[in-house]
Amino acid sequence: MPRIKPPAIRPGDTIGVVSPSSYKSLEALQPGIQKVVQRGYRLVFGEHAFDRRGYLAGEDRDRAADLNAMFANPDVKAILCTRGGYGASRILDYLDWDVIRAHPKPFIGYSDITTLHLAFLRHTEMVVFYAPMIITLARDVSRLAVENLFELLEQPRPLGTYDTREGNVRTLVPGIAEGELTGGCLCLVTAACGTPEQVDARGKILCLEDVDEPPYAVDRMLTQLKRCGVLDEAAGFVIGEITNWEQHVHDPAETLTIEQIWQDILAPLGKPAIVGFPFGHMTNPLTLPLGVRARLDATAGTLTLLEPAVS
């Protein structure tokens, strides 16, 4: 079944803002809100977008209700998450997949939102966007990253080859692979194993990145994905960075580096792979539309979108 491409958005449209995971104050989000408004968009906030219950942005059913309502609202043309954190997995059983499937819209987020992206790909066949959130845009994000986000959301044409000048892309395994993009935050992709939302990597380009994970944890998660068959099914790999992993290392003699882990677990698979692609928990993250076909030339260190992300 072909993927559903949500309709393109344009300045003047209304974007719905939701908090499916953790809480962030409106004050902390203001700089990011201003960037979206300056682009020409109106924002409407979910009823519970600023609720708080411990590390969660309110009750599970309320966070799910906000998401369902945004998809059902014909005035809302795209849905943007405030932040990640934790909690998306707790709302999956309360989402109305029939409503979501019947009203395709760009759904935008990363980190803990990986859980929802994998669910959308499984249950709706809709393209989703692993992309900067409001909290990301509240930082001093580069013009390149912001323009990349909106070009993918606004232009119903193939992006072409990504401009990765703000990353540090290296070839891990040379070669060429084509397939849909899938994946997201490593710890959430791994946590989905054994659930109905387990990542489907068959013939796809698996994209993985994470933040604040010690090397042994990255090793453990990749090993689990290998033993689950996920890595063997993939056509190729686009690996970002494990941002801030060094903070967990007190004695270099007692750890492997992240590069050694890629070499130990991914390189022997012999599939085209690059590392250092700038997405996710990076200073200037590019946007990956999951469910869109792409061409990975790992020898050249390039990733090219072969089709539009929106209709």
Is residue 209 annotated as a catalytic residue, yes or no?
yes
User: Which strands, in side-by-side order, build the sheet including 302-305?
Assistant: 160-161, 302-305, 293-297, 176-185, 205-211, 236-243, 273-275, 170-173
Q: Give dist(CA 234, CA 218) in Å, integer.
A: 18
CB 274 within 8 A of CB 298: yes
Q: Name the catalytic one among 111, 117, 180, 241.
A: 111
| Catalytic pick among 21, 89, 241, 281 | 281
Q: Which residue has the tokens 């408004």?
A: 37
Instruction: Measure Cα distances from 57 to 47, 60, 274 in Å.
Output: 11, 8, 35
Which one is catalytic: 180, 209, 213, 241? Answer: 209
Q: Is 103 a catalytic residue?
A: no
Active site residues: 111, 209, 281
